[in-house]
Each structure stands twice: as structure tokens, then as C-alpha cells.
Structure 1
Amino acid sequence: MTFSEGVQGKLRQMLWALLVLLSLPVMAVDFGTIAVRVGQHTDYSRAVFDLPREVPYSVRTDGSTLTIRIEAGFDADLGAIRRGVLRGMAAPSISRDGDITTVTVTMPAGAGPRHFRSGSSIVLDVMDVAPASVVSGQSVAPASAAERNAPSRPQPTPPAETPREEPATTPTPSTETPAFEGRSADYPRLQPAFRALAEGGVQLALPITAPDVGLAFFKRSTEAWLVVDRPFAVDADALVRGSQGVVTSVARVDHPDATILRLGLEGDPSLSVMRDGAGWQLSFKPLRTAPRFPLKPIKRIDTPAGQQIFIASGAAGRRIAVTDPLIGDDLVIVPLVEGGQGMAEAFRYTVAEVGETAQGIVVVPYSDEVRVERFRDGVAVMSGDARYAEGDAARDQALRRLIDFNAWRQGEVEDYYEVRTRLLYALSLRPTDDRNEARWDLARFYLAHGRATEALAILEMMLDEDPALSGNGEYLAVRGVANVKKGRLQAADADLSNDSLTAEQDVSLWKVLVDEGLNRPERALADYRRGVDVLGPYDDRDKADIQLAVIRAAMKTGDMDLAKRELELLGGVALTDRQLSERVLLSARIDEQEGREEDALIAYDSLAMAPQRGIGAEARHVRAAHDIRKGILSGTEAIETLEQLRYAWRGNGLEFDLLNELADLYFAAGRYEEGLERLRVGVTYFPDRAREARMSAKMSQVFRRLYLEGEADRMDPVAAIGLFYKFRELTPLGADGDAMIRRLADRLVALDLIDQAAELLEYQVKVRTEGAPRAAIASRLAKLYLLNSDPERALGTLRATREPQLPVEIELDRRLVEARALTELGRYEEAEVLIEEDNDRASNLLRADIYWQSKDWPKMVDAGLKLLEGKGTGGEPLEPGDRVQLLRLAIAMTFDENKTGLAVLRRRFAEDMKQGEFSNAFALLTGPQDLSGGEISQIVSQIANVSSLQSFLKDYRNDFSGD
């Protein structure tokens, strides 16, 4: 991509921002009185209007009159300009019409203005008048060697063939370093500092605070050249000592207008350069690097000035001509102001070489007729030699790339169908069992043209022919990138994580997209640090996607400095409409985090209806999240808003976040089923993200609160059981899960929902437990069947869950329940045998029931007397159950014609039975007179409703209720 194409991208960004602004209501802006700072620089005059926030503005010229129109009302003191402080500006005036302020100044004829923002301030420069360049079409005599080596001033704008976009820099206001003449000891001192890099190598920080200082950094032979277009004094010994062995020597090349240092290197480190605010960071790294914003020369033949090579770039510093004392070549070096702009490879032409650089431009002319001129938007290499444009550039291949779309395209976009036909024809000529070489070219061609589906299909055919490719690193890299392009992140992760690709920086860049997409932000940033040095040569679309992923990952990890730095670097990349919208969105999110809430909300609202539906949905989401945090939306309104967003956009992290947030809102509203359902969808469709967010753990915690800690007790019981069955896979194993089920079953029994309680315990017996716990729960289930008058099922459950060895208490409980079931089935002898060795009260009660129901009156008498031992006159008082047992004992004695026994009962219990239930019946049974059969039947009927089974089941109910 040429720099002009990058500027076109910026213009699209500006147009989008303008559309956003136009959609907003017009608000009056009054700034009162603002400060105006001025400064006279070497080759331009500067005025800075310090506005409190960004507002639209425009600049126009009419002859020698320069007018700046600012859409805000304010007053300003222009006295410094009136006093003639600036040689490029005079006769200032200021006028205000409502919310529009207009400032006019006069400038010398032929002078060129430039303008840009610095934060919210507006910077206006008037460049000094310079002689017209050869590219203007005027006749210029060839320069002498001395003239060619002299420092140059900024040149006027070249003709229409040269792009004329404004500089892309956004300088930071600071104290500038003036140009000095004289010995280096008289220059301002520069204090460079080294630090070790985590990924290996060292980094040199140059604390140059002036925003318009240009820098060049490149290797020649075994040396690194560091060129700054301002003179500084540098302590060479300190620089060597601090470099941790990377820099072995420092030699200064004398120059009156620049600092030129030749750094001897240990080994062959790669160089890279980035801006750090107004300063510079120069890195020496063991792995290969490329400029962040690579420059590329283009040949121009039909220009008014003749033939030229033009290198589009940002703002250029002084042109510096010098001789390499080691090799003897004459060099023309043009430092650049914007960080990361260099030549990723060398280009050799008939009359000059444009060398590889980490920063800046270096030209090696082959004759005195070659001139290097710098312009506002780039650098031109010109010669009168007619052969100049006839030679082809011989490109260095030192920077071999594993992923190289430019090479794989085999031409321009418009050549697609022609190249595809040629590749398919070449494939058709190959034998059917030897086509992978031709397929390989075709697969990479498809991928380079954005056709990942076709590329994957060809790659699959290759694997069918040669299964060994599954372990080939280059094949896996290409397939991994194709999978990334298709959004198949899991498959891409498997391909790009192959051990053979660990050291590949290109692969690390694509893994950024994979890791961020799979919600692994820390890994994404680690991958980015490994691969960032080779990002520069990538297409702008891929470069922007990677940078946007880095910004998202940095924001997730709280690294806001990195997020803001990458957001600023996106300004030098041509963005698609989608990428531009996302950049605006991410910028707004940073604004919100840093307290610029009003600006952020304006951006969210402007993006809500963006043509990119995903971006629009995300903007609405972050706006809704803000309103929820601030309490602007009620719980019900928040749920409704987020549910609408679920249908506005499906897939990726946005839907997952919506599901997670909706679940929390539903739980807060007591709508547990809907909340758990949203979490279940998240776990099902986004398993990796759900794992990272511990979504399953959240579901389990809510389920525990409901069924173990008692929150479900506030729900309708039928709804509670329905919710349990719908999400019963959340029931934990072990004691907690058993306690949940028991608690719910107990509540259902208390509400006479025996069938529902039995279903719960059936699930526990059949699915969840084994061994002794299963036998214990089966006993409780059998009790429920008895409560539900189903002794057959109770007996079947017990016999199906027998265990060879059980704790004594569980074994006794199971025998009692089984004996009760046999009793209800009329199988009295089996029941009696089952508990014949048990002598506890529960067994004695059951034994009395067996004799009662089998009408074995003698045994009933013995059992009854045993149950009433210690009761009666002088003993323990009778309990309610004892009164029933006493009445049953009297009836048994009556049927057994045991009058002596009846007399004993009368003496022993007459006083206790005078009052209360069954007092009359007891008196009749134990009285001296004989009772008729009818009278006895009537008494028996009185206790029919309080039969032994009912008494027994009452105990069971108490067991379930915990009483």
C-alpha cells in the first residue's frame, strides 16, 4: 500500500467521523478567551490555538491571505503576531459571528500553509518560501557536489502527479530543539537509555521531545546508522556500556545540521523503530523485523520534471548528504518524523539504490546527476538519465515471510481471473497423482485474494494425496490462516499451535486473532509481542484486524496504554468501513473508562444504527451496560433491552456477554428458570468462553442456593420441582446433592405431593447413587410408596437395592419398611420372621401391628403388654400412641376371653383413661359386664381411623418433614 492510499483511508475515516457529527444536534459552543501560542522555527512559523475541546475547523487561502474558520465562539490575543514575532504571519484579525470565529493573517507570496490537530488544539504553520523544485517543471541547473551535500529546506508541493494529502502526524506540544552550529560539544546533550526486552534484545530510548524531529535508522555492513536531523551531543562510552553488549563501538560522522552515529554491532540484530509520545524507541532484536508502516517506491515516467522514483511518506526531516567512511558510498538520508516508516526491503534501479531501513529513507545515487528532493508528502529520486525508468528494480529477499499475500496474488486484483485460469491450466497438465505442487500455488493464490473457502478445499485435496502434510509446518500455517479467515478459530488454533511453528513471527500475528477470539487476551498480547516486528508489510485490512484484536485484548487485561497506542497507530492504516466503525467504538469505550462519558455516549448513540450490524449491536450493548450501571434502566427494562439485542446480533463474544448479563438480571428478579436457561445456551454454544467465565460454576451456585440453601422454598412447589427436573444435571454428586433432593422431597411430602416426591427419589436411586447411600435412599422411597398405598412397589424397590453389607442402622430401617410392606400385603409370617431378632420399640410396634392384623390375639396380648411396660399408675404417663395400643390390647383380651387381664388393665390404667380419647371405650371393655359382639365391633370401628398403619405412616411423615 502506498502512503497516498493510507491517506485515502484516513480521509474515509474523517468522512465517517463527519457523518457522525452531522447526525448530532447542533449545540452552541462558547469558549470565552483562549490562549494563542506562537513560535518561529527554522523553516516555518507556527501559531497554536489552545481550544478546550475538539471542534470542526477549515483553512483556506486567497493569494497572500490565510483564513482559518473555527466552529466555536471565542476571543484571543493576537498581539504576538501583530508585533512581528513571526516572519511568515502578519496583520492578524479576528471576528466572531455567533458560534463561528474567523481568524485571518497575511503570509508571504508563494508561502505554503499546513495545519493539523494536536489534542484539542489547532496548529497552523506557514512554511518558508523556497526555490521551486525541479518537479515543478522549471529549469534547474544540475547541483554541484557541495550543493547536493548542503542541508535543504522544505520544498513546495509537487505537481498533480504527486499525492498532496496533509501530513498524518499529530505532534505533541513540547519544547523544540533548535539547530546548532559548531562543535558537537556545544550541542544539547542527549541522554539515551537502554532496557532489556522480554522477547530478547535491547531497546534504546531517545528522549527527544520536539515533535517534528526526524530520524533514520538502518544497517550498512556490520554497523547500524542512527541519524537525527538535529545536532546533539552524545556520550559514546555510556551508550556502549548501557547496550548490554549489543553496541560494541560508536563513531560520530561530523555534520553541522544533524546527529549521525555509526554503531558497531555484536552479531546481526534486526532493527525496529517506534514513536513513544514525542520520543523514540529503537530496538535491537534477535528475530527479524520490518517497519510498522513500510514504504514502497513507485516509478513515474510522465511527469513535467521527467522521470522519477517517488516514495510517499509522512512528514520528512532535513535532507542529509554524507559519505560512508567505511564503504565510500555517497548517501542521501531523509529522516522521517512519523515512527515506524521505513523501507522493508531494498530496491535497486539503474542509477540509484533505495536501501532497506527500519526508519527513514536512504538513497545511494550512482552518479552526480541523481537528485533526491523531499516534499510535503514524500521523497522523489530524480535523474536526467533517459535509461532511468528502463531498468527493473532488483528487490532484496532478505525478509522472507511465511505468510506473503503480496507474492501469492501473482499480480493485481484486476488480474485475478487471468492468473486463476493460468493456475488451473497448470494444474490440469499435472498427472492425477502428482498435483500437489500446482495445488499449493492455487491454494495460496485463493487465500491471498480473500477466498478462504476455495483455499481450504484445495488444501484438503492436498492432504488426501499426501497425508504427511498434516505435520508440515508451512502447510499448517496456510491452512491455519485460512481457518482464521473463515472464523473457524478452534481449527485455526490447532493448526497454528503446531510445534514446528513456534518460532514463526507471522504465525504469532495470526494467533493474536485466534486467542482474542477465544477469549484468551493475555495469550493474544504475548503473541502480539512476538510478532509485532513483522506486522508492517501486511495488507492494511489484515493489519487493522490484528491491531483491533490487540486493542480489545489490551482493554480486557487493563493495559490501557497499549490500547491507546495501537488506536493511535491505526490512524496510519487505511480502514474498511467496518474497521473504522469499530475503531470509533473502541475509542469511545476508552473515553468512557477515562471519564469522558459525554463523548463516549455520543459515539455510542451515533454508532447504534451503523450499517455494520455487529458494530451497531455492540454500541447499543455498551450504552445499555452504562445505563444499567447508572440505574437509568430498571431491571425489567434492562432485560427487555438486552433480549432485543440478542435477536439483533447472534454469535461471537457479544452474544455470550449478553447471555451472561441477562442471567444475572433474571436471577436478581427471581426468575431462575430464564436465568439458568440463558446460561445453558452460553455453555452449549460458547464452551470455551463459558469455561473461561466459569459459567457452569455459576449455574451450580444458583442451583445450590435454590435447593440446598432454601431459596426454592419461596417458589411454588410445582414450579420448584419442574425447575429441578429441567436442570437436574446441575445436582452435585455426593452428600450435597443427596441433601438437595431430600430437602425437595421433604417439602413435597409435606404438601401431600407424594408422587412428585417419589419421582425425585427414583431419579436418585436409579441415576445418582450406589452402595449404602443408594440402599438408604431406596428405604425412603419405599416409605413414600407405603404412604401412597403401594406396598408392592415398596417391596420391589427394597429387594432391587439389596447390598451385602450395610451399616446396622440402615439395615434395621430397611427391615422395618420391608416388614411393613409384607404386613400390608397380608404376608404376616414373612413379616414376623423378618424382625424376629429385633427388640427395639419400632420393631415391637410393628410386631404388634402384625398380630393385630392377623388376629393372633394371644400374641397381640403379649406384644401389647410389652409395649406398655412401665406405663400406668405410678409409672410414666400415657402418650397418644399408648392410648391406641391400650385399647387394642383390651380388645385382644376380650376376644381371648382374658378377664383377669382386663381386670388388671382396669386397675392399672383406669385413672389415666378417665379423660381423653377412647375413655368410654376403655371403660366398657374393662368393665365387669360382658359386651356383645355388636358393641365390640362398634369399639373396633372407633379405632379404624387410627389404625396401626396410619400411626406408622405418621411417623414416616415426621421422618420426611424432619420433625
Structure 2
Amino acid sequence: MTVTFRRELAGSVAELVFDAPTAAAVFARGDALWFVFDRAGAEAARVAGSPLAELGAILPLDVPGGSGFRLSGPAVPPQVSGDGTNWRFLFAPAAQPPATPLVASPGADAEGRMRLVARIPGIRPPVQIPDPDIGDRLTVVPVAQPGAGVVVGARLPELELLPTAQGLAFAPLSDDVVASAEGDDLTIGRAGGGLTLSDVVPAPSSVPRALGEKVEGGLDVGAWSVPGETEATRSRLEREAALAAPTAKTERRMALGRFLVANGYGAEAIGVAEILASDDPAVAETPAFRLMRGIALAMQERHGDALADLKVPALEFAADAALWRGYALASTGAKREAYKAFGAGMGAIAHFPPRYQERLLAAIGDAALAADDVRAASEAAASLSARATTKAGKARALALEGRVAVRRSDAVAARAAFEAALATGERVARVDAEMGLIELGLADGSLSRGDAIARLDRLRYVWRGDEKELAVLRRLADLQLAEGQWRDGLQTLRLAEKLFPKDPGVDALRDTEKAAFRRLFLGGAADALPPVQAVALYFDFRDLTPLGPDGDDMIRKLSDRLVQVDLLDQAKTLLSHQVENRLQGIPRSRVAARLALLHLLDHEPAKAMQVLDATEQPVLPETTARLRRLLRARALADLGKAADARTLLAADPSLEAARLGAEIAWQARDWTGAALYMGRLLDGRKPPEHGAPVPEDESLVLRLSVARTLTADAAGLKQLATLWGPAMAQSKSADAFAMLTGNADPSAIVTRNLAQTMANTGAGGNFLGELRTRLASGEGLGD
């Protein structure tokens, strides 16, 4: 078995390749992902040394007859694909659920005992695996067909069926639960008895009370309503509160406030509460007052203020407080915490007018889905449909029914419910219904990403200011980034972050921005953009640049690409920001050398000198120190200080220094210096025994012969002719070399005129051009 791991635009991909067909099961439990295979080879000790360990700690599993491990780190199960021998796992926020949902259906055997039966092609025998953390044992069923898993788990009295990305797994809650595989059928039952399938419920700690169940206790809004005509009763209570004696005002005002809350007049109840708190501060600390004001605030969507009242310890077990506490939590994005609160307050729903029951039931269904309690969400949808008295309530019920159907992998029912919700024309359900249809279209291929982006972009204006708008923005950004619309995607995320700064998911938005920015400028996605667009995108979102080496590497790659296309000004701006604001010490001196090179390429030697002077360090690695010395010499020469440049290069014995020295001397018409440096360059090189020299040696020999001719160095020319003459005779420069070295008197007019002509046309080397080529190719500059 071999393991490979790589980063892609879609996310991180791990591949496990076995030498024979292998079945697998993959699921989350606790803080880890479980990977179980029916064949040896994927033991934790072996996988721990593979690149997969980049995602998290590899923990051992005891798999009878097979192998497996736990991966601690990823919070979301991967998307599974492959061919049974090569298993591919995509770790990404947008990973799709199992392509082939596995469904365990209830049924009775010949003796009438209830059991669960699942038809699973490619099933393997179940194995018992101990959980090292919890101490119980799981029953795991590997499946050979990739992408076959349980989309929605369930909890029964005798077992807990886990959601999986691949295969099937359950935790027995009774010692006599057994599982067996025969052909493609898996059967789960009890030895000697049947399963209890009529009570499939969530964990006892979070079981909501039945809808409409009566709540006992003194803090009961159900007792706050006053019999009689509502308007007449309200007028009477208002009159009594206004005319009451000073000693009775608090009591009468509380009676009015409770009545207003029980009948859904939240704004008016808040007004009464403000007067009460002002005139009698002591009453504002009582549980009854905090309950009355908290519910009124929640009715008016003032969720933060409502939670301050409804979370006081005295109201912990009050059903009405729990109900509206759940509503406020759900509205602020804390869906799982809201689900727990709703579980203690379901019986209080009947205490409030129908229009509020609709809002509460919609929130309950939403929170239940967030907590993976599909049964409770289905009950909420059914109750909402039965209780709704308005078109908006009916539309909400349809949208919730569609979302429940999606979780049950019933695409037909989901589509019908979403379309019916849209047909009502009610804005309150349009976002959920439209987003549901978009996701169904993307899943079955009937809707392209481009069309989905267009629909979501229109949808974001339908409903503003709460989590629904945030959900639309998040999904829109995901699709834009997946489609390569980088600027649009980042701007959408930035807008969501700005509009919802206090949402619990704002950190995830920022993480998505940073991940996209990394894919662009570290992962290479920006290479597909025109350079001007890439640099504009970088500067517009520069605050996403990571700290440390990754950020510096990002800037370097972008600046190198800009050099490739002659955008030197933009490249200089990038490196200047890095030198002035991000770096210190040796890394700063290294990047400053790049910046100095760009100034020299742009014919700005004085600025190159300023950069080098401002970033000098007493101790530098030799490669960095040499590069800076060469750049300084080039700048001095360009400033007309060739003598200072020669002095600087004299102490450098490297070939790079000799090459630059020859170039500077040639440009300064210092033929003696040019001959000296080129002689150093030619030392150690030997002419070939047969044929012409390589082009670099041929050019160097010819230029050295020009320099020696112009200095009338007859002995040097003779030495060149003796050593290199036979090889040069085979070269393209044979005639010129022969004329320069074949005359005994190098000062002869014809010879000198030829040398002068060649000196005027010869470049004498291109030190900056060579550095630019290395920079643009990403080869590096010795750093």
C-alpha cells in the first residue's frame, strides 16, 4: 500500500493505493476521522510516515483481519472516490456527501422480530473495533463501492447509526445487538429478540418535549393571558396601570406587560418594561420581569439584549424562557446551542399567537437540522404546516420540508417542496427554497456553476440583514472561487465579513479568504491571470498576506512574474513594501538585493545604491554578500565611478566578479583591465581536441584577442593563437581571430581598425541581463 498527498484548488487530496481490491469505511467519531480497510497495509505505523500526516496526528486502530487508523485534525469527513484499489479522499469545506446513500430500512423477519436491513453492493463482513477514547466497541462494515455511505445517522434504543463518508458503522447500545452480511444484504438485529424501531429519538439529554406538552411551574406565559376580547382586555389593563395607586402601580404594570407578551405585542411590552425598570429598579431584577422583557426583546429581534435576560440562572428551567432563548440563539447563529434550549421549551409554543408559533417552529426545524436531528426537523415541519395560518407560514413549512427531504436523500420530494414554496411568492421562504433548488441542480448536473452564481447573485438582494443573507453570500463566494472568479469571490467574502462582524462564523469567512489568497499566490492559481490583474488583486487584498516565510515567498513569486513581463515598477513596489515593512536582518538584505537589481534594470543606479546602503548588515552569508557587492559595483560603474567599482571587485576572486569586471572595463574602454579580467575567466578552460570551442568560450577568446590587440599585447596574442588557434580555426570567428592574432604587429592599422570596430559593436557581457533571466525563471539569485 502506498500513500500520496497533494494540495489542489479544491482542497487537500490523499490517495491510498492497495495491491488488490479493498473495501473501506470512513466516518467521524469524537475528534478524529476513522479509516477502516478489510485488507492489511494501512496500519497507523505505516501511514504515520506518509505525507497524510500533514493533516493531523495518525492514531492506531485494532482492525481484525484488516487495517486502519484514526486521523486527528480534520473536522469534516472527506469526499470519497476511487476504484476499489485506488482510494481517493478529498478534504475540503465543499466536499460532497456520499454519492450513493446507504439506507437501513426497518423490517420484520419470519418470526415478526424487527430489524434493520440495508442492500449494499460490495459489502464485506462486519468487524468489531474498540474505540480507544470512549472505551466501547463499534461495528464497522467496509464497502467496496467508492462513495457509498450513510448520509444521515439515527439513534435507536439499542444502537446509534453513524453518518459516514464511506461504508457503514454503528455503536451498539445493547450487548445483544448483532450484524451479519449475506450477499449484498446487511442485517442488524438482536440475538433472541427484535429491535425497538418505533422510538427513533435523539440522545435523551436533547430530546425536545412533544409539541404542545403542558409546562408546569410558576413562570408560565400560558397563565399570562386574560380571558375576554383582546383589545378590550388590553384597554382595561392599560387603564388600570395608569390609574393605580402608587403602591399598586408595579403590580398593574407587570400585569399589562405579561398580557402584551402573551398576545404578541413585543414592542409595547418593551415600553412597559422600560417604565417599570425606571420607576422600580428592584422589580427589574425579578425572574418574572426578566422573562417578560426577554421574550418581548426576542419578539422584536433584539437577540443580544434578549439573551441577557433569558440566560439568568433563575430562568434556566422555565420553558418559555428556554423557547425564546433558543430562538435568540438560533438567530445569532448558535444553532446547536439553540437546539438544546428548544428541547426544554417545546411545550411552551402554544402559549403564543400563531404568527409567533410559525417563527418559532421554523427556527426549531432549522436548529434541528444544524444538530443533525432530521426526525425533530421533520416533526417541526409537519407541526408548522398544520399550525400555519398565513401564506408565509405555509411557505416556511414547505421550505423546511424540502430541506428535510434533502437530508434524507430524497431529491424528488425536496425539489417538489422547494418549487411549491417558491410558487407561494412569499419572500420569507424564497432564500431557503431557491438555495435548495440551486444545490439540487449542482448535484445532479442540471445547473452549471456559472448559472448558480448568477442565481445566487440575484438572490442576495431578496432577503437582507440576517443569517439567510450571510448563507447566500458564503455559498456565492464558494462558487465564485471554485469557478476561478477570484476577485468576485474575495469581495463577496469581504462583504459578508463587513455586514456580519459578530456572527460566530466570521472567523471561518476570514480563513476562507486566506486560503483562497494562498491558492492564488502560493499555489500558483494566479499564474493563469494576466500579470496586471494578478498584481492588482494582490494589492487590493494585501492584508491577507500571511506572516513569515510563506508571505515573503508569495511576494517573491509575484515580483518574479512581474519581471518576466517587464512590469518593473509594480515589482519594485512589491519588494519596497517588503523591505520597508515586513523584513529585518539577513532576509531584508536578501530581498533588498533583488530590489536593487530591479532599480539597475530600470536605469536607476542611484536608487539601487540607496537600497543597498540602507540594508547593509555586518555579517551576511557569502552568496548574499557577493551578490550585493556585485550589484554595488555595477551601480558605481553606472554612476560614472568605474575606478571605485574596480576597487570593490579587486578583492573578489570569484568568476562572477571577473565577468562583471570585464564588462565594466569594456564599457569604460579600459582594455588593459578588460584583458586582465577576461584572462582570469579563460584560465582553466581548455580548447577541445577536435572541432570548434563552445559558443561561450569562442566569444570569450575573441573578445580577449580584441582587448589584447587594443593594448598592443603581442605576446598575449601569440599565446592565444598557440593555445586556441586550431580550435578557433573551426569556429565561425575563424577569420576575425586569424586577422587579430596572425599579425606580428598588433598595432598595425588594419589590425587595430578591426579590433576597434569589434570593440564598438561587442557588448562585452551582460551581467544584469543574466541576473534578470535567473530572476524571471525562478532560479533564484543565490538566496
TM-score, reference length from structure 1: 0.52
Structure 1 pair 896/799, CA: closer, same or farther in 2 (3 Å)? same
Q: C-alpha deviations, 1:57-88, integer Å up to 9, x for none?
A: xxxxxxxxxxxxxxxxxxxxxxxxxxxxxxxx
User: Matches of residues 277-356 of structure 1 in structure 2 within 5 Å?
Assistant: 293=212, 340=213
Instruction: Choose the corresponding residue for 1:819, options 618, 633, 640.
Output: 633
Mean CA deviation greater in 575-584 or 911-920: 911-920
Structure 1 pair 793/703, CA: closer, same or farther in 2 (3 Å)? same
State yes or no: 1:742 paired with 2:561: no
CA distance in 2, matches of 1:588, 1:664: 22
Amino acid across the alignment from 1:714 = A
User: Does the residue aligned with 2:561 lie in a helix, a strand or coil?
Assistant: helix
CA distance in 1, matches of 2:285, 2:632: 65
CA distance in 1, matches of 2:354, 2:464: 27
User: Does the residue aligned with 2:461 lie in a helix, a strand or coil?
Assistant: helix
CA distance in 1, matches of 2:438, 2:715: 89
Instruction: Choose the corresponding residue for 1:659, options 470, 473, 486.
Output: 473
Asked if 1 retains the 8 angstrom alpha-carbon contact of 2:222 and 2:348, the reply is no
State yes or no: 1:634 paired with 2:453: no
Amino acid across the alignment from 2:772 = Y
CA distance in 2, matches of 1:947, 1:488: 78
Structure 2 segments unaligned to the other structure (5+ residues) = 1-155, 157-195
State yes or no: 1:904 paired with 2:719: yes
Structure 1 pair 780/409, CA: closer, same or farther in 2 (3 Å)? farther
User: Does the residue aligned with 1:911 lie in a helix, a strand or coil?
Assistant: helix
CA distance in 2, matches of 1:581, 1:874: 88
Q: State the 1:559 CA deviation.
A: 1.1
State yes or no: 1:625 paired with 2:439: yes
2:324 equivalent in structure 1: 510
Indicate the structure with greater strand content.
1
2:594 equivalent in structure 1: 780
CA distance in 1, matches of 2:305, 2:768: 64
1:955 equivalent in structure 2: 771
CA distance in 2, matches of 1:912, 1:465: 110
Structure 1 pair 502/771, CA: closer, same or farther in 2 (3 Å)? farther
Q: C-alpha deviations, 1:770-819, integer Å up to 9, x for none?
A: 33323222211221222222222222222333345443332332222222
State yes or no: 1:549 paired with 2:549: no
Instruction: Choose the corresponding residue for 1:791, options 593, 596, 605.
Output: 605
Q: C-alpha deviations, 1:672-728, integer Å up to 9, x for none?
A: 332333333333323465737933333333333333333333333333333333333
User: Does the residue aligned with 1:608 lie in a helix, a strand or coil?
Assistant: helix
State yes or no: 1:842 paired with 2:661: no
Amino acid across the alignment from 1:615 = A
Q: State the 1:875 CA deviation.
A: 9.3
CA distance in 1, matches of 2:253, 2:650: 87
Q: State the 1:595 CA deviation.
A: 6.1
Q: State the 1:487 CA deviation.
A: 2.8
Asked if 1 retains the 8 angstrom alpha-carbon contact of 2:237 and 2:255, the reply is no
Amino acid across the alignment from 2:444 = K
User: Does the residue aligned with 1:694 lie in a helix, a strand or coil?
Assistant: helix
Q: State the 1:645 CA deviation.
A: 1.9
User: Does the residue aligned with 1:723 lie in a helix, a strand or coil?
Assistant: helix
Q: State the 1:894 CA deviation.
A: 3.7
Asked if 1 retains the 8 angstrom alpha-carbon contact of 2:579 and 2:591, the reply is yes
Q: State the 1:869 CA deviation.
A: 0.8
User: Matches of residues 877-892 of structure 1 in structure 2 within 5 Å?
Assistant: 880-892=695-707
Q: State the 1:961 CA deviation.
A: 0.6
Amino acid across the alignment from 1:938 = T
2:547 equivalent in structure 1: 733
1:701 equivalent in structure 2: 515
CA distance in 1, matches of 2:587, 2:228: 72
1:524 equivalent in structure 2: 338
Asked if 2 retains the 8 angstrom alpha-carbon contact of 1:290 and 1:534, the reply is no
Asked if 2 retains the 8 angstrom alpha-carbon contact of 1:550 and 1:563, the reply is yes
Asked if 1 retains the 8 angstrom alpha-carbon contact of 2:630 and 2:660, the reply is yes
Structure 1 pair 421/464, CA: closer, same or farther in 2 (3 Å)? closer
Asked if 2 retains the 8 angstrom alpha-carbon contact of 1:608 and 1:617, the reply is no
Q: State the 1:417 CA deviation.
A: 5.9
Amino acid across the alignment from 2:218 = L
Q: C-alpha deviations, 1:712-757, integer Å up to 9, x for none?
A: 3333333333333333333333333333333333333223333333
Amino acid across the alignment from 1:643 = D
2:230 equivalent in structure 1: 412
Instruction: Choose the corresponding residue for 2:490, options 666, 676, 684.
Output: 676
User: Matches of residues 73-92 of structure 1 in structure 2 within 5 Å?
Assistant: none
Asked if 1 retains the 8 angstrom alpha-carbon contact of 2:398 and 2:420, the reply is no
Structure 1 pair 629/875, CA: closer, same or farther in 2 (3 Å)? same
Asked if 1 retains the 8 angstrom alpha-carbon contact of 2:326 and 2:339, the reply is yes
CA distance in 2, matches of 1:572, 1:821: 84
What's the RMSD between the two structures over aligned residues? 4.5
Asked if 2 retains the 8 angstrom alpha-carbon contact of 1:921 and 1:939, the reply is no
State yes or no: 1:585 paired with 2:399: yes
Asked if 2 retains the 8 angstrom alpha-carbon contact of 1:690 and 1:696, the reply is no
Asked if 1 retains the 8 angstrom alpha-carbon contact of 2:667 and 2:764, the reply is no
Over the matched positions of the two proteins, sequence identity in percent amounts to 29
CA distance in 2, matches of 1:657, 1:909: 77
Asked if 1 retains the 8 angstrom alpha-carbon contact of 2:224 and 2:259, the reply is no
CA distance in 2, matches of 1:409, 1:760: 74
CA distance in 2, matches of 1:835, 1:476: 83
CA distance in 2, matches of 1:280, 1:749: 65
Amino acid across the alignment from 1:601 = R
Structure 1 pair 589/920, CA: closer, same or farther in 2 (3 Å)? same
Asked if 2 retains the 8 angstrom alpha-carbon contact of 1:408 and 1:444, the reply is no
CA distance in 1, matches of 2:458, 2:271: 37
Q: State the 1:878 CA deviation.
A: 5.5
Amino acid across the alignment from 1:940 = A
Asked if 2 retains the 8 angstrom alpha-carbon contact of 1:489 and 1:514, the reply is yes
CA distance in 1, matches of 2:382, 2:281: 45
State yes or no: 1:718 paired with 2:718: no
Structure 1 segments unaligned to the other structure (5+ residues) = 1-204, 206-275, 294-339, 345-357, 359-397
CA distance in 1, matches of 2:234, 2:312: 32
TM-score, reference length from structure 2: 0.62
1:937 equivalent in structure 2: 756
User: Does the residue aligned with 1:622 lie in a helix, a strand or coil?
Assistant: helix
1:605 equivalent in structure 2: 419
CA distance in 1, matches of 2:602, 2:274: 64
Kindly tell me the number of residue pairs found equivalent between the two proteins.
575
Q: C-alpha deviations, 1:263-316, integer Å up to 9, x for none?
A: xxxxxxxxxxxxx999999xx99xxx99964xxxxxxxxxxxxxxxxxxxxxxx
Asked if 1 retains the 8 angstrom alpha-carbon contact of 2:333 and 2:503, the reply is yes
Amino acid across the alignment from 2:606 = E
Which structure has the larger Rg?
Answer: 1
Q: C-alpha deviations, 1:811-830, integer Å up to 9, x for none?
A: 33222222222222223344
2:95 equivalent in structure 1: none
Amino acid across the alignment from 1:508 = A
